[in-house]
Structure 1
Amino acid sequence: MRRIWEEGDERVDRTGVGTRALFGTQLRCDLSDGRVPLLTTKRVFWKAAAREMLWFLTGETNIRLLLRQGVTIWSDWPLKKYREASGDDIAQEDFERRIVEDADFAAKWGDLGPVYGKQWVDWPTYEPAGDGHFKAGPGINQVAQVVESLRNNPGSRRHIIEGWNVAQLDEMALPPCHKTYQFHVAGDRLSCVLYQRSCDVALGLPFNLFGAALLTRMISEQAGYEPGELVWMGGDTHLYLNHTDLIEAQLAREPSGDPRLAITRQPPSIFDYRIEDFEVSGYQPQGTLKAPVAV
Structure 2
Amino acid sequence: MSIADTQYLQIVDRILQHGYYANNRTGVPTYKLPHQIMQFDLAEEFPILTTKFVAFKTAVKELLWIWQLQSNDVRELQRMNCHVWDEWMRPDGTIGKAYGYQIRKYKQVDTLLHTLRTDPQNRRMIVSLWNIEDLPDMALQPCAYQTLWDVTDDRLNCMLIQRSGDMGLGVPFNMTQYAVLVHLIARAVGLQPGLFTHVINNAHIYENHIEALKTQLARREKAVKAPTLLLNPDIADFYQFTPDDIQLDNYVHLGKLPMEVAV
The aligned amino acid for 1:159 is M
* Alignment correspondent of 1:223: 189
The aligned amino acid for 1:42 is K
Residue segments in structure 1 that go unaligned for 5+ positions in a row:
82-107, 123-139
Counterparts of 1:44-63 in structure 2, within 5 Å, are 44-56=54-66, 57-63=68-74
Cα distance in 2 for residues equivalent to 1:187 and 1:196: 27
Counterparts of 1:191-210 in structure 2, within 5 Å, are 191-210=157-176
Deviations 1:208-238 (A, max 9, x none): 0111111111110111100001000010110
Do structure 1's residue 16 and structure 2's residue 7 form an aligned pair?
Answer: no
The aligned amino acid for 2:20 is D
Cα distance in 2 for residues equivalent to 1:68 and 1:281: 26
Q: 1:252, CA displacement in angstroms?
A: 0.8
* Alignment correspondent of 2:155: 189
* Alignment correspondent of 1:101: none
* Alignment correspondent of 2:208: 242
* Alignment correspondent of 1:126: none
Secondary structure in structure 2 of the residue aligned to 1:4: helix
Do structure 1's residue 280 and structure 2's residue 248 form an aligned pair?
Answer: yes
* Alignment correspondent of 2:3: none
The aligned amino acid for 1:234 is I
Secondary structure in structure 2 of the residue aligned to 1:27: strand
Do structure 1's residue 118 and structure 2's residue 129 form an aligned pair?
Answer: no
* Alignment correspondent of 2:261: 293
* Alignment correspondent of 2:81: 70
Counterparts of 1:164-175 in structure 2, within 5 Å, are 164-175=130-141
Cα distance in 2 for residues equivalent to 1:168 and 1:75: 21
Cα distance in 2 for residues equivalent to 1:285 and 1:109: 38
Q: 1:242, CA displacement in angstroms?
A: 1.1
Deviations 1:230-282 (A, max 9, x none): 00001011000111221111111122122110111453532221111111012
Percentage identity across paired residues of the two chains: 35
| TM-score for the superposition, normalised by structure 2 | 0.91
CA contact 1:25–1:234 (8 Å) conserved in 2: yes
Residue segments in structure 2 that go unaligned for 5+ positions in a row:
1-11
CA contact 2:71–2:99 (8 Å) conserved in 1: no
Do structure 1's residue 145 and structure 2's residue 111 form an aligned pair?
Answer: yes
The aligned amino acid for 1:161 is V
* Alignment correspondent of 2:7: none
Structure 1 runs of 4+ aligned residues shifted over 2 Å read 265-269
* Alignment correspondent of 1:29: 40
CA contact 1:221–1:266 (8 Å) conserved in 2: no
Deviations 1:176-216 (A, max 9, x none): 10011011111110110000000001100011011111111
The aligned amino acid for 1:274 is T
Deviations 1:37-78 (A, max 9, x none): 110011001000101111112121111122122211111223
The aligned amino acid for 1:118 is Y
The aligned amino acid for 1:184 is D
